Structure 1
């Protein structure tokens, strides 16, 4: 396993609203990923933390999303092969996450 990819997203929504938006975004993302051949494994909330696992093309990815009162922390553990795309993944997570937490 390569070094975890971590994205911190500040927000001004409050913890409950940020979690609601993350839940909604995960549901939408799940539908899109399934169409792309990505298998969603574990998705489990424990308090304000979502642990997830998914796989595609024989590669498995897991991580967590921690929803705080002023920020959301996303940690993704990529296998070595996919770690080559870490910066692209980080940029995409930052962009999409910021949209999710700032749109009205």
Structure 2
């Protein structure tokens, strides 16, 4: 297993609103993954932590999203083979996460 990929996305929404936006964006995230040939097998909230499991290239990728008062911390654990794509994954998480959590 490769070193986990961690992305921290700051926000000014507060914990409740950030969690609500993440929760409402799950359908869009699943659609985006499906278009890329990936499947989200499981996504479960436990308090303010969303744990997920994604299938990619016959590999499993799991991770957690922790919602804090002023940031969201995403940790993705990938097999070594998929860790080659960590830079792309980080960029996508950062861009889409920032867009979703932008104060409106």
Normalised to the residue count of structure 1, the TM-score between the two structures is 0.93
Tell me which residue corresponds to 2:80.
Answer: 80
1:38 shift after superposition: 1.7
TM-score, L = length of structure 2: 0.93
The structural deviation recorded for 1:103 is 5.2
Q: Which runs of 5+ in 1 are unaligned?
A: none
CA drift of 1:54 comes to: 0.9
Q: Give distance in 2, aligned partners of 1:56 and 1:13.
A: 32
The size of the alignment, in residue pairs, is 104
C-alpha separation in 1, matches of 2:72 and 2:41 = 22
Residues 60, 34 of structure 1: CA spacing in aligned structure 2 closer, same or farther, 3 A cutoff?
Answer: same
Structure 2 residue runs without a partner (length 5+): none
2: CA distance between counterparts of 1:58 and 1:29? 20
Asked if the contact 2:12–2:103 (Cα under 8 Å) also holds between the matched residues in 1, the reply is: no
Q: Pairwise CA RMSD of aligned residues?
A: 1.2
